[in-house]
A = this chain, B = another copy of it.
Amino acid sequence: MFYFHNDYSEGCCPELLELLQQTNLEQTVGYGEDPYCAKAASLIRGLCGDDQLAVHFLVGGTQANLTVIAAALRPHQAVVGAVSAHVNAHETGAIEATGHKILGLPSQDGKITAAQIQALLDKRQQEGNLEHSPQPKLVYLSQPTEYGTMYTLAELEQIAAVARANGMLLYIDGARLGYGMACRGNDVTYRDLARLSDGFYIGGTKVGALFGEAVVLRNPAIAEDFRYFIKQRGGMLAKGRLLGLQFYGLFRDGLYGRISAHAIDLADQIRDVLREAGIPVLVDSPTNQIFPIFEDGMLAQLEQAYLFTFMERVDDTHSAVRICTSWATAPDAVQALCAEIRRLTAKT
């Protein structure tokens, strides 16, 4: 049985485990104030071309999102994002538990547009009585999105422009950012993310680390006292160096990019086979998540050897599933899956 159902089924890149091993008995100060966190933060600031950025390391994505949003908003302010946004659909009301409403915008492919945001604001103005509903203040995007799709640089520029014109903040969830950076056609750089957003995070958990997300904050109003927020929300790791060390390992010599490219190459192989076999997809995504719509019989046969994530029932005889590749995906497994898809579609 091979697990294609997500990108966190394994431990971490051997290089990172090796670093943990080498430094295991070193003594450092705790809570993220060690030299490894400092080095990793410095590497990330370099990558983003801005040595003023605040960089903090958190254990997981929900934790990163809720901590940043709690730090960014006053209590009457709301988040604007896609209905399918991770914060809206997959975090058990973590944002609401910090007191903030999420205003969901409809989206087929996980992306929202500058025009949607502006329309939401215009509707509020037209209706009046502004203080009877929360103030839309922070735009939440994922790059790539929940559906593996990517914002182009032009789209991000437009969204950032709308946000700034309306006094809003822009925050970008990069849980799978490496895979986005590595995909064909991507034209957004780390510098762009740092420049256009008030804050974003670079995902480690799904891209080679045991765990860890690097939160990058450009806006000083969010960054002020951010360590208090990390501690208050339960995200301050006593042995913070574990986070710093992993991000140091991921960024000291390009490991993060190489392992992401590995996952994309394998995903592209699967995409090619699906296309050749005439298997449609629920959403056309260029990153490490693929959403094929399989006929029931075929799916049942594939699922004897491969684990996928069920997405939705498409019609009486078809379901959409999610296939993920990752830094850890074995090329052999992908080739076997591709061969099986070819065999089953040839048979049909």
* Chain A contacts to B: CB under 8 angstroms: 2-3, 6, 8-12, 14, 17, 20-21, 23-31, 59-63, 66-67, 70-71, 74-76, 78, 89-94, 96-102, 126-135, 205-206, 210-211, 225, 227-239, 242, 310, 313, 328
Q: Are A234 and B232 touching (Cβ within 8 A)? A: no
| Chain B residues with CB below 8 A from A59, complex form | 59, 237
Contact B11 A30 (CB under 8 A): no
Contacts known (A63-B235, A76-B225, A310-B127); A24 close to B8, Cβ less than 8 A: no
CB neighbours of A131 from chain B (8 A): 92, 225, 227-228, 230-231, 236
Chain B residues contacting A71 (CB-CB under 8 Å) are 74-75
**Nearest B-chain residue to A175, judged by Cβ:** B238
Residue of B nearest to A22 (CB): B11
Assembled-state Cα–Cα distance A3/B94 (Å): 37
Provide the bound-state CA to CA distance between A133 and B9, in Å. Answer: 21
Q: What distance in Å separates the Cβ of A226 from its nearest Cβ neighbour in chain B?
A: 9
The distance from the CB of A282 to the nearest CB of chain B, in whole angstroms, is: 14
Please name 19 pairs of A and B residues whose Cβ atoms are closer than 8 Å in the assembled complex, sorted by A. A8-B238, A17-B20, A20-B210, A60-B237, A62-B234, A66-B234, A70-B75, A71-B75, A74-B225, A75-B97, A75-B229, A75-B232, A92-B131, A97-B99, A97-B233, A126-B310, A131-B227, A131-B236, A234-B234
Residues of the B chain whose Cβ atoms lie less than 8 Å from the Cβ of A11: 20, 23-26, 239, 242
In angstroms, Cα B310 to Cα A231, docked, is: 21
Most buried by B among A26, A100, A239: A239
Q: Give the copy number.
A: 4
Nearest Cβ distance between residue A289 and chain B, in whole angstroms?
A: 15
Q: Once the chains are docked, how many angstroms separate the CA of A280 from the CA of B67?
A: 43
Residues from chain B with Cβ under 8 Å of A12 in the complex: 24
**A11, A63, A206, A237 interface centre (most CB from chain B within 10 Å):** A11
A2 closest partner in B (C-beta): B27
Smallest beta-carbon distance A46→chain B, Å: 26
Shortest beta-carbon distance, A233 to chain B, in Å? 6
Docked Cα-Cα span, A259 to B216, in Å, equals 38
A235 touches B232 (CB 8 A): no
Across-interface contacts of A24 in B (CB, < 8 A):
10-12, 14, 17
Question: Could you say which residues of chain B place their CB within 8 Å of the CB of A20?
Answer: 11, 17, 20, 210
Q: Given A24-B14, A75-B98, is A92 in contact with B238 using a C-beta cutoff of 8 Å?
A: no
Minimal beta-carbon separation of A17 from chain B (angstroms): 6
Beyond A17-B24, A93-B134, A135-B225, list 18 extra A-B contacts (CB 8 Å).
A3-B27, A9-B27, A10-B25, A10-B26, A11-B24, A17-B21, A20-B20, A25-B328, A67-B234, A92-B132, A94-B234, A96-B134, A101-B102, A127-B310, A132-B231, A134-B232, A211-B238, A234-B234
Instruction: Enumerate chain B residues within 8 angstroms of A93, measured Cβ to Cβ.
Output: 76, 78, 99-101, 133-134, 232
